[in-house]
Amino acid sequence: MAVTLKGSYTWISVVLLLVFTALRLDGRLEWNWFYVLIPAWLFDSVMLLYITAQAITEVKRRPTRRLAIILNRLWDLSAVLNKILFQVLICLKLQAIVVIQLSYVFFPLWALLLQMAASLVYRIYLHEKTSSSLPIRRSL
């Protein structure tokens, strides 16, 4: 049930974000870009709460691995914060509130993508390390 709820919430957020963005770009909405991104803001706030709650419950369950759990959750929090920073900068640029180069606007997005790539490489490394240490079974 929880997985279905998470998936439904994610899809509803994405669909609303795409609809609001399309309507804003088409000129049918004259909303501020900060209002257009409300589905993304709500999704990010739920993610921040979820990551924090997950960290608290994991630390209570396994207090001996406290440092590793906190570092993992800080990694996740930094990814969400990079996304939020990118959204704020893109809204400021599109609303012409601040004159800023696009390379600076997209810096948090590039940092997020590099972080995701590093996380993927690390998980592949851990998988290879654990699978190579397992004994090989041979069937007769």
Residue 21 lies in a domain: yes
The answer to whether the CB of 105 falls within 8 A of the CB of 86 is: yes
Reply yes or no on whether the pLDDT at 30 is more than 50: yes
Q: Is residue 137 part of a domain?
A: no
Q: Is residue 75 part of a domain?
A: yes
- Residue 139 belongs to some domain of the structure: no
User: What's residue 135's pLDDT?
Assistant: 59
Strand (E) or helix (H) holding 139 = none
Q: Give me the number of domains the chain comprises.
A: 1
Tokens of 105: 């606007």
Residue 122 lies in a domain: yes
86-99 tens-digit pLDDT = 999 999 999 988 88
pLDDT exceeds 90 at position 123: no
Task: Reply yes or no on whether the pLDDT at 3 is more than 50.
Answer: yes
pLDDT tens digits, one per residue of 43-92: 999 999 999 999 899 989 988 888 888 888 888 899 999 999 999 999 99
Of 75, 56, 76, 78, whose CA–CA distance to 66 is shortest? 56
Specify if 140 maps to a domain.
no
Residue 138 lies in a domain: no
For residue 66, give its domain range.
2-132
